[in-house]
């Protein structure tokens, strides 16, 4: 009976471990993305500022600034979409983990309860 409880506990933890792995993978992916994006933005910003400093024509400076802002906006939108897709994939995977594990846990719990009831009935009959 103790073994049944231990097996049930171990089996119950499997979905939590899968979920933790899923969350860890998501966190790593998002952190890598953020680090790469931050480095790229810093490099692009520095290059843009250097180009602005070297430019003498005010109209050219305004044009460069507009292009830079448009480019920056595109990069930020792309990064946001990639991050949203990664989060959506992780949420979908978490849903699959919960769906499958809930049915498994319910079936195992039912079997364990049935075994306990049988053991209790045997013990009750012996005592009588």
Listed in order, strand segments (DSSP E) in 20-126 are none
The per-residue pLDDT for range 22-63, each reduced to its tens digit, is 999 999 999 999 999 999 999 999 999 999 999 999 999 999
- How many Cα atoms within 13 Å fall on the side-chain side of residue 123? 6
Mean pLDDT for the chain overall: 87
Residue 57, phi-psi category: left (phi > 0), alpha (psi -120 to 50), beta (remainder): beta
Specify the DSSP class assigned to residue 1: -
More confident residue, 35 or 120: 35
pTM: 0.66
Cβ–Cβ < 8 Å for 90, 26 = yes
């Amino acid at each position: 009976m103790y073994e049944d409880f231990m097996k049930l506990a171990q089996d119950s933890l499997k979905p939590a471990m899968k979920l933790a792995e899923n969350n860890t993978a998501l966190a790593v992916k998002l952190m890598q993305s953020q680090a790469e994006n931050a480095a790229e933005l810093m490099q692009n910003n520095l290059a843009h500022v250097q180009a602005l400093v070297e430019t003498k024509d005010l109209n050219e400076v305004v044009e460069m600034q507009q292009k830079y802002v448009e480019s920056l906006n595109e990069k930020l939108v792309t990064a946001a979409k990639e991050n949203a897709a990664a989060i959506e994939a992780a949420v979908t995977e978490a849903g699959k983990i919960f769906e499958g594990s809930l049915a498994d846990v319910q079936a195992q719990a039912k079997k364990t309860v049935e075994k306990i009831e049988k053991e209790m009935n045997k013990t009750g009959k012996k005592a009588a």
